[in-house]
Structure 1
Amino acid sequence: MPAKSPAQTLLEKADKRASSSAGWFSSASTKFEEAGDLYQQAANSFKIEKLFKEAGDAFAREAECREQCKEENEAANAWWNASKAYKRGFPDLAIQALTQTIVHLTKGGRFRQAADREKEIGQIYLQESNDLRKACESYERAGEWYSQEDATATANACFKDAADLHAELGEYPQAISRYEQVADHSLTSALTKYSVKEYWLRSSLCALAMGDSVTARRNMTKYSNQDVSFASTREAKFVNALIEAVEGGDVEAFTAAVFEFDQITKLDNWKTAILLKIKKEIDDDGRLT
């Protein structure tokens, strides 16, 4: 029989302590405190051995011991440590552990940290399971919490990510209202004002993807009123050229406008995908209303 690893030995000690009776002289909370410390040591030992699932499981057991002792902060921390171990190949378990972390953080009124963890959940949904819907919900929730804590820049980054995902899901009205929300916030500061044209460009592309050039035009007028310098930007000229091409059912003019814009400002994957969708609409209809 192979010798037990140090981590395995610690884990067995922790299990034994957790299930022991409290005894005459110690309270139940002392028992769970000691077991929690042993689980934590076992988890760190598993990490050294690169056994991440076992490490995550041990941190989760530690978290449960901390909960027995009503130690909210320690429990939140243990669940977070569990999620970090689970992230190495077990995304579903990482999300469960982060969800538990958030329960403790929100109970303690620590919404800023809760938002950080919620954003992590969004990233896991996006990168590991390509679940755009759930990722979008997590980014929006994180954004709301950041807003409550006056972390406006971080909130805006989350809302912008959510808007991109709404658009990818074909939910253009939701995407437009998120882009406009982020743009409105960005207008209030000299530092972020420069990024407004990017949000308005994305919003306008969403309107065209809906096949609604009337809304696209109306929004362009609204944006130019909100910021007088917008009309002269390359982004605004690009959108206006696209609106003309779409309304004229002119695929060549559309393609030329896209090519010209891309020469100076490389189109990212998101814009490329939505522009292809708009072009396909012109191809199909020959004309859009």
Structure 2
Amino acid sequence: MSALSQAQKSKAQTFLTEATATLSKSTWFASSTSRKNEDAAELYTKAANAYKVGGWHDDAGDAYVKAAELYKVEKSLGEASKCLSDAGTCYKKGGVNISRAVECWSDAVTLLCDAGRLNMAAKLSKEIAEALENNLDGDNGGGNANESVAAAIQSYQQAADLFEMENAKSQASGCLAKIAELSSAALDPPDLLKAAELYESLGRGCLESNLLKYNAKSHFLNGVMCHLANGDAIGASQAYTRFDNLDYTFGESREGKFASQLIETVENFDAEGFATACFEYDRISKLDPWKTSMLVKVKRGISEEGGMDGGDEEGDFDLT
């Protein structure tokens, strides 16, 4: 442990002692009690800052929480939400208290909403979702991982709703895209129909903006792929027709042609044609991990219907 770290810890402990002493003082008037709580909260915040500088992240989080509790007593919602947000960040940096971090951030979101600071609440809700999503690899699989996925989806939805209230449509769309991605690729079992509906909605939204209309094709392709991965070639074909009617450039675009080829090969149980279509598309537009995971599901469906051994793992997927 470095000398700086020990020095900061000693400084923090001094502030904690002073905070405890401040709270133990007797007061006769409400104004005096309020002043006492605010002084103690400030000392807890100073202790938290010292712990944070010294690298004692969990201790810093604990001190921030104590400060937040006092600020809540005094109805200082802005200060309380800031302390809770800082506490969550410290717990996250500590590396072992992600659930505690999420709890603090969620409390902060509630306070920010109560204070009418919806944009800040939306950003913090998105941060919660990202933390949960990034922590998926740290779960031990099974129910725990699935619960984290569901919690991340819920937080992204809350963020999207709050961004919509603030008319921040671009940020809201980004959150909805993450919901579609997690619902289709991370949730077990996947909710591919929900993802398809979200991608269609996102594509329609893009067409309403001259700046975003070119992004619609990507969303529409994703929607078609979700239907196919769900084993619904008819639904995919119907969706393709809707998209082509909505966006007259879709059918002739790279995304539209790829979507059409996928539907045709699936309808004909043409595994070789499917692989060729994927390979040709990947040569020009590199398939990302999400598209690859969807195509694995589609390929598996073709192989099962066609009586072929298509493999069961994503690593078995060969574009050639």
Q: What is the TM-score of this pair, normalised by structure 1?
A: 0.95
Match of 1:191 among 211, 214, 221: 211
Following superposition, which runs of at least 4 residues in structure 1 exceed 6 angstroms of deviation?
A: none
1:95 corresponds to 2:102 = yes
Give 1:169-180 correspondences, 5 Å limit.
169=187, 170-180=190-200
The alpha-carbon deviation at position 198 of structure 1 amounts to 0.7
Measure the CA separation in 1 of the matches of 2:22 and 2:99.
Answer: 29
The alpha-carbon deviation at position 190 of structure 1 amounts to 1.0
- Correspondence for 1:272: 292
1:140 corresponds to 2:157 = yes
- Correspondence for 1:119: 126
1:12 corresponds to 2:32 = no
Match of 1:44 among 46, 49, 55: 49
Give 1:245-260 correspondences, 5 Å limit.
245-260=265-280
- Correspondence for 2:231: 211
Measure the CA separation in 1 of the matches of 2:248 and 2:133.
Answer: 37
Measure the CA separation in 1 of the matches of 2:54 and 2:28.
Answer: 34
Cα deviations across residues 48-106 of structure 1 (Å, max 9, x unaligned)? Answer: 11000000110110101101111111111111111111110121111011011011111
The alpha-carbon deviation at position 161 of structure 1 amounts to 0.6
Measure the CA separation in 1 of the matches of 2:104 and 2:168.
Answer: 25
- Correspondence for 2:256: 236
The alpha-carbon deviation at position 23 of structure 1 amounts to 4.9
- Correspondence for 2:306: 286
Letter in 1 for 2:153: C
Other structure's SS at 2:209 match:
coil
Other structure's SS at 2:239 match:
helix
Measure the CA separation in 2 of the matches of 1:257 and 1:167.
Answer: 22
Gaps in structure 2 of 5+ consecutive residues: 1-5, 138-147, 308-320
User: RMSD between aligned alpha carbons?
Assistant: 1.6
Measure the CA separation in 2 of the matches of 1:149 and 1:173.
Answer: 28
Letter in 2 for 1:182: L
The alpha-carbon deviation at position 148 of structure 1 amounts to 1.1
Letter in 2 for 1:58: A
Measure the CA separation in 2 of the matches of 1:220 and 1:106.
Answer: 40
The alpha-carbon deviation at position 15 of structure 1 amounts to 2.1
Other structure's SS at 2:215 match:
helix
Letter in 2 for 1:97: C
Match of 1:55 among 57, 60, 63: 60
Number of positions where the alignment pairs a residue of Structure 1 with one of Structure 2: 286
Cα deviations across residues 192-216 of structure 1 (Å, max 9, x unaligned)? Answer: 1111111011110000011111111
Gaps in structure 1 of 5+ consecutive residues: none
The alpha-carbon deviation at position 140 of structure 1 amounts to 1.1
Measure the CA separation in 2 of the matches of 1:24 and 1:254.
Answer: 78
The alpha-carbon deviation at position 136 of structure 1 amounts to 1.1
Measure the CA separation in 1 of the matches of 2:162 and 2:193.
Answer: 23
Matched residues, percent identical? 36
Other structure's SS at 1:140 match:
helix
Measure the CA separation in 2 of the matches of 1:114 and 1:152.
Answer: 15
1:159 corresponds to 2:176 = yes
Measure the CA separation in 2 of the matches of 1:277 and 1:6.
Answer: 57
Measure the CA separation in 2 of the matches of 1:103 and 1:148.
Answer: 15
- Correspondence for 2:32: 27
User: Alpha carbons of 1:151 and 1:24: their partners in 2 closer, same or farther (altered >3 Å)?
Assistant: closer
Measure the CA separation in 2 of the matches of 1:243 and 1:236.
Answer: 11
